[in-house]
Amino acid sequence: MCGIVAAVAQRNVQEILLEGLKRLEYRGYDSAGMTVQDGSVLSRHRAVGKVGALAAKLAAAPLPGTTGIAHTRWATHGKPTEANAHPHHGAERVAVVHNGIIENYEPIKQRLESDGVTFNSQTDTEVIAHLLDERLSKGEDLFEATRTIVTQLGGAYALGVMSASEPGVVVGARQGSPLVVGVGIDEAFLASDPMALLPVTDRFIYLEEGDLVVLREKGAISVVDRAGQPVERTVHTFEHGDGAASKGEYRHYMLKEIFEQPEVIEAVLEGRLSAGSVLVESFGPDAQALFQRARQIHVIACGTSFHAGLVARYWLERYAGVPVQVEVASEYRYRHPVVPEGTLFVALSQSGETADTLAALRFAKTLGYIGSLAICNVPGSSLVRESDVALMTRAGPEIGVASTKAFTTQLVALMLLTLAVAKVQRGDDHRDIVEVLGTLPGLCRQVLALNGQIEALSQAFAEKQHALFLGRGAHYPVALEGALKLKEISYIHAEAYPAGELKHGPLALVDSEMPVISVAPNDDLLEKLKSNLQEVRARGGQLFVFADENVDITGQEGIQVLTLPYVHEALAPLLYTLPLQLLSYHVAVLKGTDVDQPRNLAKSVTVE
Ligand code: G6P
């Protein structure tokens, strides 16, 4: 994780870098730092805590200069202390910001120490500063030095480096961690994510793996590839717009993003349906042939995206008749998976930069899949560029670390995939589902209107230590996602179970202190779910049920029921996710946690 930003500009860069860091804070927020070049002096401030702590230091003692690098950290090697915060300096001659992990830093460190180098931090990154310093003292320029030392680095890195003896120069390198070049007007920038640079440019070069880039004054940008050859990389115009930069009327980004769901669900559907049928071409020109050949599908993802994959398994098997396996990327990449002939690989990721998911995709390419499909929210991300076919989820930037609109738009995209596979392989349009898809935004609005009631419900959770979420069928993953949301932002221990499994263990946990949350749509598992809820009630558990308006589950002593509008059962997992998001949000607000940036987490995990 971690976020880096760098600038070679025509003006003082402090504010540009600071704004960039604020926008990258979702990537890590335990400490931050900035080095600015003033003539041949590198001046640095670092602070423990969020970017605000660094901003306070900069306000008290500004760092003037037109070239600089900055970093917001999510600790991997070494605690979040000021000494471990980036930029790291080597002999005051060179400054480095790094996102990633240098896996072989220990032998490098030992070698440098035996040569008399003193280390000032416990980080893996500091070796880069000293390796560069070593080369610079041999007379190499910053670019040459960087090119030499990256060959010694194992693991993953996105780097921004500068040297006291080369004013107006920043060198960047990318291997395994994201890095984009911002193309300004007579100015040039680097960042982990285009979002960081939207106040200064909307034109970006997405560096390829192994690329090195040199930014010089007057906006000069030169890229060389892994082989050291100068290359021209395409300049892309950023399409998302900058609407996510503010919370608007909302208290938190998470709440804003929950309420954006009706619009983004409309966006993900736009232009992808026609006359009661999905447009298979919306997956790209190669999709038809790929889907035709898909005898099985393997879905790989992490975190919330994994839960979307679990819902899709129910859909793809039921509506398209294709066997599906779903697995978390960090497990998949270290197994020895057997890939039956005719298997399609599907990677799900909001960011398209999650290290484990990317590694899984790269591994999958060696295993004989018929092709790879990325379902992703970030155009130009590594996952999208490296997959054969991509479908964008168009959720717009998601800032809250706990994923909300990215999840529901992934579900819509996965339903489109289900419909596309069913159409290509079986000639089945599933017209009923297609028709209801168009009504989803309106149904979501109706559910969001329950916000006040859900807020009132949340009071019952503020003092709880544990919670249990139950669902059946495609709503088991919905329960998993509900439990994850509660854990992530309210720090309440929550578990999710398929309701039928309750009697095989978790029932032992149920007593009058245990809140049990269940989703009860009007589907063919309803009667079975009701029996499971009776099992909870009989043990004194406090039930909170989100139920279809037509089902006869009534509120009574120990059972609180909130009714949702009727929805076609195929789309119920989408709708029933919303109240669980709102519930977690309100519980977290009551508990006073940092809703948008919960402790120990990061939005985009670009390290293993
Ligand atoms: C992190 C985030 C989660 C997210 C997961 C996968 O853990 O905190 O919210 O679900 O990464 O991210 P991706 O961008 O690949 O969907």
Strands (E), 244-308: 273-274, 277-278, 296-301
Which atom of ligand 1 lies closest to the CA of 401?
8
Instruction: Indicate whether 240 pLDDT > 70.
Output: no
pLDDT tens digit sequence for 382-428 = 899 899 999 999 998 898 999 999 999 999 999 999 999 999 999 99
Mention every residue, 6+ apart, whose C-beta is less than 8 A from residue 104.
152, 153, 154, 155
Which residue in this structure is represented by tokens 């931090």? 121
CA-CA distance, 183 to 395, in Å (whole number)?
Answer: 25
pLDDT tens digit sequence for 135-152 = 999 999 999 999 999 999
Instruction: Indicate whether 536 pLDDT > 90.
Output: no
Whether the Cβ atoms of residue 33 and residue 71 lie closer than 8 Å to each other: yes
Reference 156, options 99, 219, 208, 213; nearest CA is 99
Q: What are phi and psi of 319, to 5 degrees?
A: -100, -20
> Is 480 close to ligand 1, i.e. is its CB under 6 Å away?
no
CA-CA distance, 375 to 370, in Å (whole number)?
Answer: 17
Work out the pLDDT band at 540, boundaries 50, 70, 90: confident
What radius of gyration, in Å, describes the C-alpha atoms of the chain? 25
Instruction: Indicate whether 578 pLDDT > 90.
Output: yes
> Is 598 close to ligand 1, i.e. is its CB under 6 Å away?
no
* Top mutation candidate among 333, 381, 577, 604 for ligand 1, by most atoms within 8 Å of CB: 604
pLDDT of residue 244: 56
pLDDT of residue 490: 94
- Pick the residue with more confidence: 304 or 2? 304
Does residue 2 have an active-site annotation?
yes
pLDDT of residue 515: 93
Whether the Cβ atoms of residue 441 and residue 262 lie closer than 8 Å to each other: yes
Q: Which of 22-36, 373-387, 578-592, 593-607 has the highest mean pLDDT?
A: 578-592
* Top mutation candidate among 326, 349, 354, 600 for ligand 1, by most atoms within 8 Å of CB: 354
Mean pLDDT of 585-592: 96
> Is 161 close to ligand 1, i.e. is its CB under 6 Å away?
no
CA-CA distance, 400 to 596, in Å (whole number)?
Answer: 4
Which residue in this structure is represented by tokens 């099985």? 296
Whether the Cβ atoms of residue 67 and residue 9 lie closer than 8 Å to each other: yes
pLDDT tens digit sequence for 512-523 = 889 999 998 888
Which atom of ligand 1 lies closest to the CA of 351?
14
Residue 546, token pair as written in the block: 């989100």
> Is 532 close to ligand 1, i.e. is its CB under 6 Å away?
no
Instruction: Indicate whether 243 pLDDT > 60.
Output: no
Mention every residue, 6+ apart, whose C-beta is less than 8 A from residue 329.
300, 301, 302, 306, 347, 354, 356, 357, 359, 360
> Is 601 close to ligand 1, i.e. is its CB under 6 Å away?
yes
Helix (H) or strand (E) holding 309: helix 303-315
Does residue 376 have an active-site annotation?
no
Residue 82, token pair as written in the block: 């000021």
pLDDT of residue 556: 81
Q: Give me the percent of the chain exceeding a pLDDT of 70.
A: 99
Pick the CATH number of 3-244 from 3.60.20.10, 1.10.1740.10, 1.10.540.10, 2.40.30.30: 3.60.20.10
Report the SS3 class of residue 446.
helix
Domain boundaries, the chain: 3-244, 262-448, 450-608
Q: Which of 176-180, 325-329, 335-339, 366-370 has the lowest mean pLDDT?
A: 176-180
- Pick the residue with more confidence: 550 or 159? 159
Question: CA of 178: how far to CAs of 8, 86, 186, 277, 605, in Å?
Answer: 19, 17, 24, 37, 11
* Top mutation candidate among 258, 387, 403 for ligand 1, by most atoms within 8 Å of CB: 403
pLDDT of residue 1: 66
pLDDT of residue 209: 87
The verdict on whether omega for the bond into residue 199 sits within 30 degrees of 0, i.e. cis, is no
DSSP string, 362-416: HHHTTTT-SEEEEEESSTT-HHHHHSSEEEE-------SSS-SHHHHHHHHHHHH
pLDDT of residue 241: 60
Instruction: Indicate whether 489 pLDDT > 80.
Output: yes
Average pLDDT, the chain: 93
Reference 34, options 4, 10, 76, 1; nearest CA is 4
pLDDT of residue 405: 97
pLDDT tens digit sequence for 82-125 = 999 999 999 889 999 999 889 899 999 999 999 999 999 999 99
pLDDT of residue 544: 94
Residue 347, token pair as written in the block: 């990677």
pLDDT tens digit sequence for 440-457 = 999 999 999 999 999 999
Question: CA of 205: how far to CAs of 85, 124, 158, 235, 400, in Å?
Answer: 27, 28, 14, 5, 26
Mean pLDDT of 422-439: 95
Mean pLDDT of 260-265: 95
CA-CA distance, 412 to 403, in Å (whole number)?
Answer: 15
Mean pLDDT of 77-86: 93
Report the SS3 class of residue 65.
coil
Nearest CA to ligand 1 atom 2: 603
> Is 351 close to ligand 1, i.e. is its CB under 6 Å away?
yes
> Are the folds of 3-244 and 450-608 the same?
no
CA-CA distance, 370 to 60, in Å (whole number)?
Answer: 58
Q: What is the pTM of this model?
A: 0.75
Q: How many helices (H) and strands (E) does the chain have?
A: 19, 27
- Which class is 450-608 in CATH? alpha beta
Which residue in this structure is represented by tokens 């309420």? 259
Report the SS3 class of residue 217.
helix
pLDDT tens digit sequence for 162-177 = 999 999 999 999 997 8
CA-CA distance, 162 to 167, in Å (whole number)?
Answer: 8
> Please, what sign has the CA dihedral across residues 593, 594, 595, 601?
negative
Work out the pLDDT band at 252, boundaries 50, 70, 90: very high
Work out the pLDDT band at 601, boundaries 50, 70, 90: confident
CA-CA distance, 576 to 261, in Å (whole number)?
Answer: 13
Whether the Cβ atoms of residue 548 and residue 564 lie closer than 8 Å to each other: yes
Mean pLDDT of 180-193: 95
pLDDT of residue 184: 94
Q: Identify the CATH number of the domain defined by range 262-448.
A: 3.40.50.10490
CA-CA distance, 556 to 310, in Å (whole number)?
Answer: 33
Which atom of ligand 1 lies closest to the CA of 403?
9
Report the SS3 class of residue 42.
strand
pLDDT of residue 545: 94
Angle at 600 between CA 598 and CA 603, to 5 degrees: 65
CA-CA distance, 1 to 28, in Å (whole number)?
Answer: 6
SS (H, E, C) 71-131: EEECCCCCCCCCCCCCCEEECCCEEEEEEEEECCHHHHHHHHHHCCCCCCCCCCCHHHHHH
Work out the pLDDT band at 570, boundaries 50, 70, 90: very high
Q: Which of 57-61, 272-276, 473-477 has the lowest mean pLDDT?
A: 272-276
Instruction: Indicate whether 524 pLDDT > 90.
Output: no
CA-CA distance, 361 to 301, in Å (whole number)?
Answer: 10
Mention every residue, 6+ apart, whose C-beta is less than 8 A from residue 423.
277, 278, 280, 429, 430
pLDDT of residue 505: 87
The amino acid occupying position 162 is: M
Residue 318, token pair as written in the block: 């039921």
> Is 605 close to ligand 1, i.e. is its CB under 6 Å away?
yes
- Pick the residue with more confidence: 437 or 536? 437
Distance 44 CA to ligand 1 centre (A): 32
Q: Give me the percent of the chain exceeding a pLDDT of 90.
A: 75
> Is 303 close to ligand 1, i.e. is its CB under 6 Å away?
yes
Distance 304 CA to ligand 1 centre (A): 6
Whether the Cβ atoms of residue 210 and residue 175 lie closer than 8 Å to each other: yes
Instruction: Indicate whether 195 pLDDT > 70.
Output: yes
pLDDT of residue 537: 84
Which atom of ligand 1 lies closest to the CA of 410?
16
Mean pLDDT of 464-491: 96
> Please, what sign has the CA dihedral across residues 57, 60, 63, 68?
positive
Mean pLDDT of 232-241: 82
Reference 261, options 485, 443, 390, 457; nearest CA is 443
